[in-house]
Amino acid sequence: MIIDQKIKKLEKSAVQLTLTIARDAAQKEYSGLLNKYVKDAVMPGFRRGKVPVGVLEKKFGDGLKAEALQNLVDKSLHEVFETIEEKPLSYSQPEIIDRNITLDLTKDFTFTLQYDTFPAFSLPGYKGIEIEEPQVAVTKKDEDRELDQIREQNALVLDKASGKVAKDDTVTVNYVEVGADGTDVESTRRQDFVFTVGSGYNYYKIDEEIIGWKKDDEKTVAKTYAADFETSELAGTTKSLKIKVTAVKEKKLPELNDDLAQDVSEEFKTLDDLRKSITDRLGKTVENTVKQKNLDAVLEKVAAEAKIDLPESMIRAELDQTWRTFASQSRIRPEQLEEMLGHEGKHKMQDQWRPQAEEGLRKRLVMEKILEAEKIECTPAELEAEVAKQAEASKISVEEAKEYFEKNGFLHYIEHDVRDRKLADYLLSQSKIKKGKKLTYLDLMGQKE
């Protein structure tokens, strides 16, 4: 069918694929369709299946040619993608770039397709990379902070007797933007939204505005946002917000004693047991985080040397996933978030995320390349061991864990996780690690007091 094919490489790992289909193949496809429809064609003055070919062509010829053209394109692409290396990415929709393409049965048929491919690049040196490892020690202050959080988690949340909103209270509110014409902007309406006053965990940051309000208070407030406000869609604007407080609750913190430790888990008998568990957990967190930062530093240096021309469709897929994750963390459906921010607002946020998304993709591609070069895989024995480890952590049998992972299609992800950990160990064993600057636990975790 295909008598000629040409591939032209473009920027950002895109290609143009030009295929020429033999005239005989085009005529055969068209004739096949014509014979198929002649058998069942019904037209005034003719019995079923007795419509002359010429009459049918005169009335439906253009439609038949269009269908034959589409069939030829589909069949030729199926054929060519079986043989060429430059296959389209799963999230890159191939697009025919010829305008007003038509099928001429007297000539060979040529068309050009454009799509994104997996980026090809040479792997730079990845052994002997020099990095600095941050020095972090867990302190009593870190332990006390964790204990405070445990007290918060075990606090009783009760209706506040006075009903008056204060910092650290948990409130439930209804809110909606009010437009310049005085009508509610329905796409911004939220019902029964719960947050802790002073946490800032609300889109419009209305913590300060509602302090001093009481349950069932309903007011319209104007809030002006600074030009450098963290949410770009609100920066430099003034919003009119109709807010109603529907519930006010306060926390009653438990005493810091052995009873609290026993409430946290039956494995703890005393407060000292709980504190030791916290120390061990924070120490493990520091160890894992430092290791990940070391790995990121190595991959960042290798990726910086690699000449990777990222396809646009790959970047867009990564940004769309980030958008869905952001919406989930904000407890808003992605569609509703886009209604609130608008199409332009969504793209502004994604433009801000783009540099980080591109860096993450380059690191991932470098990792995959090194995994292939070093032939690092998850062996069946290692997979079994990891399943057993997770079964023990979940306090279920290995058979139950394996059945659950297989049923939900998670074994593939476990294999990749084991493989990535082996790669991390290998890369770090091949790196030159020097002592870096001292950091506090919060600095390491990117948190604030």
377-381 own/partner pairs: CB under 8 Å, 24+ apart: 377/419, 378/414, 378/415, 378/416, 378/418, 378/419, 378/422
CATH 3.30.70.1050 matches 2-116? yes
pLDDT over 80 at 375, yes or no: yes
Q: Which of 35-39, 158-162, 390-394 has the lowest mean pLDDT?
A: 35-39
pLDDT of residue 47: 63
CA angle, 166 then 168 then 172, to 5°? 75
Residue whose tokens read 């506090």? 440
The pLDDT tens digits of the residues spanning 207-232 come to: 999 999 999 999 999 999 999 999 98
pLDDT, mean of residues 295-319: 95
User: Is the distance from CB of 185 to CB of 233 less than 8 angstroms?
Assistant: no
The pLDDT tens digits of the residues spanning 389-412 come to: 999 999 999 999 999 999 999 999
pLDDT, mean of residues 69-76: 91
pLDDT, mean of residues 154-174: 94
Give me the amino acid identity at 149: Q
pLDDT of residue 32: 86
Q: What tokens were used for 45?
A: 């003055």
pLDDT of residue 160: 95
CA dist list (Å): 111 to 1, 33, 122, 296: 13, 21, 32, 44
Average pLDDT, the chain: 92
The pLDDT tens digits of the residues spanning 16-29 come to: 999 999 999 999 98
**Which residue, among 447, 222, 190, has the nearest Cα to 336 in the 3D structure?**
190
Q: How many CB atoms are closer than 10 A to CB 422?
A: 17
pLDDT of residue 133: 96
pLDDT over 80 at 157, yes or no: yes
Same fold: 2-116 with 156-252: no
Q: Band of the pLDDT at 98, cuts 50, 70, 90? A: confident
Distance CA 415, CA 402 (A): 13
Strands 2-9 and 170-178: unpaired
pLDDT, mean of residues 44-50: 66
CA dist list (Å): 92 to 18, 86, 97, 113, 317: 17, 12, 14, 12, 9
Q: Which of 49-63, 64-78, 134-148, 265-279 has the lowest mean pLDDT?
A: 49-63
Q: How many CB atoms are closer than 10 A to CB 371?
A: 17
Give the 3-state DSSP-derived string for 365-402, with helices as H, strands as E and coil as C: HHHHHHHHHHCCCCCHHHHHHHHHHHHHHCCCCHHHHH
Q: Which of 55-64, 77-86, 223-232 has the lowest mean pLDDT?
A: 55-64
Q: Band of the pLDDT at 37, cuts 50, 70, 90? A: confident
Q: What tokens were used for 387?
A: 């399943």
pLDDT, mean of residues 155-182: 94
pLDDT over 90 at 195, yes or no: yes
Q: Band of the pLDDT at 45, cuts 50, 70, 90? A: low
The pLDDT tens digits of the residues spanning 121-151 come to: 999 999 999 999 999 999 999 999 999 999 9
Q: Band of the pLDDT at 104, cuts 50, 70, 90? A: confident
CATH topology of domain 156-252: Chitinase A; domain 3 (3.10.50)
Extents of the domains making up the chain = 2-116, 156-252
Give me the amino acid identity at 65: K
pLDDT over 80 at 60, yes or no: no
Q: What tokens were used for 385?
A: 């061991």
Distance CA 269, CA 97 (A): 72
pLDDT, mean of residues 346-359: 94
The pTM score is 0.70
pLDDT of residue 36: 78
pLDDT of residue 51: 66
pLDDT of residue 147: 95
pLDDT of residue 50: 66
